[in-house]
Amino acid sequence: MSSTVTEAHPNHSNKSPLELQNSNQSKRNIAVMTSGGDAPGMNACVRAVVRAAIYRGCKAFAVMEGYEGLVRGGPEYIKEMNWLDVRGYLSEGGTNIGTARCMDFKQRQGRLKGCKHLIDAGIDALIVCGGDGSLTGADLFRKEWPSLIQELKDTGVISNEKYEKHKHLNICGTVGSIDNDMATTDATIGAYSSLDRICQAIDYIDATANSHSRAFVVEVMGRHCGWLALMAGIATSADYILIPEKPSSSKGWQDQMCQIVSQHRSKGKRKTIVIVAEGAITNELEPISSDAVKDVLVDRLGLDTRVTTLGHVQRGGTAVSYDRILATVQGVEAVKAVLDSTPDTPSPLIGIEENKIVRKSLVEAVEITKSVATAIENKDFDKAMSLRDSEFTEHLSNFMAMNSANHNEPTLPANKRKSIAIINIGAPAGGMNSAVYAMATYCMSRGHTPYAIHNGFAGLSRHESVRLIDWLQIEGWNSIGGSEIGTNRSTPKETDIGMIAYYFEKYQFDGLIIVGGFEAFVSLEQLESARAMYPAFRIPMVLIPATISNNVPGTEYSLGSDTCLNSLMQYCDVVKQSASATRDRTFVIDVQGGNSGYIATFAALACGAQASYVPEEGIPLDQLEADINSLKEAFAVEKGLSKSGKLVLKSTNASKVLTTQVIADIIKQEANGQFDAKTAIPGHVQQGGLPSPIDRTRAARFSIKAVQYIEEQFDSIAPYKYVIDFPSDDKKVASTAAVLGVKSSHLKFTSIRQLYDFETELGRRMPKKISWNKTRDVADQLVVSDANRSLFSH
């Protein structure tokens, strides 16, 4: 996840905060508020708003206790915030500025009080982080603002001068909700952290269920939205899910669940996991409780069944890296949005589409979101599904297809069924096993024959390592890290491309899915280039990028990079805690990633590192000097305070001369005893343990799209399978070998020929264009330590 501006820029802004303040014609007083249910990542959003506002020369305020604080008012509830007030916020769960339900604000008199209190504090822009109810209140507040302030003036509560100064209030929304129930955005702040808690719990439950051959019914949050239950179902290979958007009759769900569970058990599965959203209902709107599900499994199937209700565990704990980053870039964008706003600008909602931060209409997003609940209440479930974003519908379809693997009649006629192989190439990455599982189960549901090529192309050419994938064998692979079918870095030309072609022909592969990093990218190009000589390669071939380096051309996201970021973030949090406890210590952390600075950049954003060095920029000596001076200023200002530890992240390849140890030694030398510097090298810890829910669910989505692509493209190349004059320069034929990637707000297939010939720096093993450059600018803005530090203290 990142913003998608691609132009190059310096490691630090050319303007100091003071210059930005003086150049800003309309200095604003910007308040931030968290409201509704708390969500992990809200603190990151507050931190971003406060620091982004100050960086742009504005004053920052926090409204404590949500709308309750707005109604009560006064300096106790509407506090001016300085730069240091939000130190340590990134690694803390919940919301430090508080949240509360407020019935008074639902009445006009309460909103009138809120209007007066904002005017008293001099605030002219409000950023609200909350769910649909909170954002509905925010939009209503803005709509009523002209009449509210008019009433205050007419009754003599405020002066005419204050009336003229505060005639307009700009409001911007960022969505903080673990349910991920807001329309027009792919993800809400806190949703993936909550999903992470759920998946971790189910992984634990899975082990004990398998030990005793038990069934477990797991209840998760989601009163009106089944996103958590659906995504957890995909990520943990649950047997059945119950969500409010797709109910069946009071007897229908019982029959269907028992049929599926019985089929799974008859195939040798020892455990059963059923996930129930708290808002699960029948098509008559009757609630389906976890206990009711348990009773059905006990009475009809005789299974030893337990119920686990996860409850508020799903809200707790620190945010995962995705939510920290999402909340941070959305907070920064929200500040930009209110500064860009005019009295006529509709209130924006900051959202994300695939990989791009976007501004949407707040009122439209709220209206669509509320209409989903209305449609469910009216029993119009088709409409409710249509109002969910297309990705939700896609995930539900994928879950049902994978869940019916090897049990129901295949959905394709016999003459359309193919033999499709999958292979892992390159270093292990989180999500590789999930990709194999999704590919195989989807193939089975369609009627295709799935094969796994074990131990890469070297395993194929030397040992004929082709294995038919068995359903029971891959059960549980979703929650396993590494690569169960094995992987290595050897490309076809480095092994024996002729022997590889021989085995492709022997097994009559109709399609190939490659999962891996840059070596996988090169391998796909070699196979495509060899089509003229080897007819066996004249089949659709798809690369699913999977590497922690995230350096595959054609995509802004690779499987494994989220798992890596989480592992590195947790490591950095622990190291930073150590640095803070010791006081006045900096850790220089060595970060993997080859010639890509993606991991170092986003880890710096998620952990609040003071600086990061990446191969794309190198380490200029003047930059190193500036960063050491910045560290000196920061330690001087924070002398004696807690949470004073600092991190500096360095990509291993950022400099061959200035190694991690050398940088730490230089910092220590230049500190003159003011503070200490040590190194920390996480090494292969960065490849992650268990794959993150994001990598699990994206692996499923990508793999299924890859199989669908092979189905769609097969007829484009099949006529050329055995022709002598193979049209290798035919673009339509060449496009049947493609990379599946995320580009800005789209998921798309790009021809390997286009990428390899025009968009790749082969020597550096990198794409020519870097999608995440702008993110470095954001990270720098939020940790800048200027000589004018007094600016931040007000």
Q: Structure tokens of 317? A: 């704990």
- Identify which of 691, 698, 663 has the alpha carbon closest to the alpha carbon of residue 677: 663
Active-site amino acid positions: 179
Cα-based distances in Å from 198 to 229, 235, 463, 528, 760: 9, 10, 40, 42, 39
Token pair for residue 378? 């009216």
689 is in an annotated binding site: no
Confidence check: pLDDT of 9 > 50: no
276 known member of a binding site: no
Nearest to 314 by CA among 206, 222, 237: 222
Determine whether the annotation assigns residue 610 to a binding site: no
Span 335-341, average pLDDT: 94
Phi, psi values for residue 7, rounded to 5°: -70, 150
Contact status, residue 594 vs residue 588, Cβ threshold 8 Å: no
Residue 23: its pLDDT value, please?
A: 42
At residue 32, the pLDDT reads: 98
How many helices (H) does the chain have, and how many strands (E)?
A: 26, 24
Residue 158 pLDDT greater than 50, yes or no = yes
Task: Confirm or deny that 245 is annotated as ligand binding.
Answer: no
pLDDT digits (tens, 9 = 90+) for 448-475: 999 999 999 999 999 999 999 999 999 9
Q: Is 776 annotated as a binding residue?
A: no
Q: What integer pLDDT is reported at residue 784 of this predicted model?
A: 64
What is the enclosing helix (H) or strand (E) of 228? helix 227-236
Query: Which residue is listed with tokens 């021989």?
Result: 502
Give the pairing type, strands 419-425 and 511-516.
Answer: parallel
Place of tokens 């929650």: 479
263 annotated to bind ligand: no
- Asked if residue 622 belongs to a known ligand binding site, the reply is no
608 within 8 A of 647, measured Cβ to Cβ: yes
Quick check: 7 pLDDT over 70? no
Mean pLDDT of the chain: 91
How much is the average pLDDT of 8-19? 39
| 8 Å CB contact between 526 and 491 | yes
* 329, 2 Cβ separation under 8 angstroms: yes
pLDDT value of position 541: 98
Share of the chain above pLDDT 90, in %: 81
Domains of the chain in sequence order = 17-188+319-373 (3.40.50.450), 191-314 (3.40.50.460), 409-559+690-762 (3.40.50.450), 564-687 (3.40.50.460)
- Asked if residue 436 has pLDDT above 90, the reply is yes
- Is 618 assigned to a binding site? no
25 labeled part of a ligand binding site: no
The sign one gets for the Cα dihedral 109, 110, 111, 117 is: positive
Task: Specify the DSSP class assigned to residue 347.
Answer: P
- Whether 608 shows a pLDDT value over 60: the answer reads yes
Query: What confidence tier does 26 reach under pLDDT thresholds 50, 70, 90?
Result: low
Stronger pLDDT, 3 or 87, i.e. the higher one: 87
Q: What is the mean pLDDT of residues 9-26?
A: 41
* Position 791 pLDDT exceeds 50: no
Q: Which residue has the tokens 């493609």?
A: 738
- For the chain, the first-to-last Cα distance in angstroms comes to 34
Q: How far is CA 239 from the centre of its chain?
A: 25
Examine the pLDDT at 379 and tell me if it is beyond 80: yes
Least confidently predicted of 4-13, 249-258, 317-326, 538-547: 4-13
pTM, two decimals, is: 0.94
Annotated binding residue 506 = no
Is the pLDDT at 232 greater than 70, yes or no? yes
Residues in the chain: 794
Q: What is residue 624's predicted lDDT score, i.e. its pLDDT? A: 94
Residue 723 has pLDDT above 60, yes or no: yes
Task: Tell me: is residue 36 an annotated ligand-binding position.
Answer: no
pLDDT value of residue 22: 41
Residue 8 has pLDDT above 60, yes or no: no
Q: Which has more confidence, 788 or 624?
A: 624
Of 8-22, 674-688, 707-721, 777-791, minimum mean pLDDT range? 8-22
Annotated ligand binding at 134? The verdict is yes
Q: Residue 157 burial by CB count (10 A; 0-12/13-18/19+): exposed, middle or buried?
A: middle
